Amino acid sequence: MVSVWRCVHCPRSDIRAQNSVEASQRRGYADGMSTLPPKLEMQRAYQRNDASYDGVFFLAVRTTGIFCRPSCPARPPLPHNVEYFATPGDAIMAGYRPCKRCRPLNTDGRPPAWVGRLLRHLDEQQGRRLRDCDLPTLNIDPYRARRYFKEHYGMTFQAYQRARQMGDALTQLHAGDATTSVGLAQGYSSDSGFREAFQRIFGQTPGRARQASCIVTRTLESPVGPLLVGATDSALCFLEFADRRALDTQFKTLRRCFDRPIIPGENKHTTTACRQLSEYFAGRRQSFDVPLDYPGTEFQHAVWSALRRIPYGRTISYEELARRVKRPGAQRAVGSANGRNRIAIIIPCHRVVNKSGQLGGYGGGLWRKQFLLDLEHRTPACR
């Protein structure tokens, strides 16, 4: 999994020489505001078959009508025949079909090699935080790290490190370690600096937080793109597509409902959920038994509980769902509750369609809804 990563984007001096449009795109990319890297960077990446860009963008070839991963082993197409997309769904919606050689809809469930290398480095250097200027020494572009972590973890790489440090600190405090020793172990030279940083994340001092809890989140790669999986100490409480536009709103609601900070990490419930989801995507699982916690209004809870009773491989209409929660005629209300579901797939809101049989809406995108329904209908037991 270890590989030497080479920076493929232009140095800053070259960027200044580009026209104003490209420079504007580059600034947006650096700030995590653009969904795609600069065009020249993507062109160089696919021409080198750079696998570290897999999942970052997809290229579609106008002359063949197919779309590929950047690492596709096929002969690189001419630049003027290429169109770029942020997700497989965008390419499919534009009329392209997936390449049969690189299979862009499939994934091995692992992050790019450079991300795995970066995370291992953090594990080995506990207590020392990497600055952006340190990343080039690891052959990692800080701009790419910022955008990847923003897309897959909902925060920049620097914010990820801070949250991860505080999560480790909370674990040490729960184990009974002294506040001063915990702060030193996390790289803080002063007790006051550690206390201030801790309080910004958890909203309380280290001493009071010894009995506190948090929501831990991790990323799972899947055939429908990266998923964010979150859980408290007692149950799974979050499962969402990492690129969903309403993700920030979902996080705010999650914090409000549980009154806990959200930090990178893992526990037994995220581990169980990831294993069962992998089995689901492989066609080997039709139900989930990981414990769930999904607070909401009385009506929302009724809708979400009704969704869990829809059998695998079956669909119902919004009208039927409204009847099942004893609110006949309230199709729009149940549709709104569907959209606020914070545990996608496991609470299967994708199994609700229009009365006409058309897909209707889906927060993760209609292509994902179609993919999930097709996956379930392909299972022999459901035929």
Q: What are the pLDDT digits (tens) for 102-131?
A: 878 765 445 667 887 887 787 777 657 788
Q: Regarding predicted confidence, which is higher, 292 or 183?
A: 292
Q: Which residues belong to the active site? A: 349
215-281: CATH topology is Double Stranded RNA Binding Domain (3.30.160)
298-382: CATH topology is Arc Repressor Mutant, subunit A (1.10.10)
Q: Tokens 């925060």 map to which residue?
A: 155
Same fold: 113-209 with 298-382: yes
Residue 23 has pLDDT above 70, yes or no: no
pTM for the whole thing?
0.59
Mean pLDDT value across residues 368-377: 90
| pLDDT tens digit sequence for 48-60 | 988 767 777 899 9
- Tell me the pLDDT band of 337, cut-offs 50, 70 and 90: very high
Q: CA of 269: how far to CAs of 31, 210, 221, 251, 338, in Å?
A: 33, 21, 17, 18, 23
Residue 152 has pLDDT above 70, yes or no: no
**What is d(CA 61, CA 69) in angstroms, rounded to the nearest whole number?**
11
The secondary structure of residue 236, as a DSSP letter, is E
Q: Which amino acid is at 147?
A: R
Q: What was the pLDDT predicted at 25?
A: 39
Q: Tokens 């653009």 map to which residue?
A: 34
Q: What was the pLDDT predicted at 347?
A: 97
Q: Among residues 319, 347, 229, which one has the least CA distance to residue 278?
A: 229
**What number of other Cβ atoms are within 10 A of residue 194's Cβ?**
23
Q: Which CATH number fits domain 12-98: 3.40.50.2300, 3.40.10.10, 3.40.50.300, 3.40.30.10?
A: 3.40.10.10
HSE-CB at 16 with a 13 A cutoff on CA atoms is 2
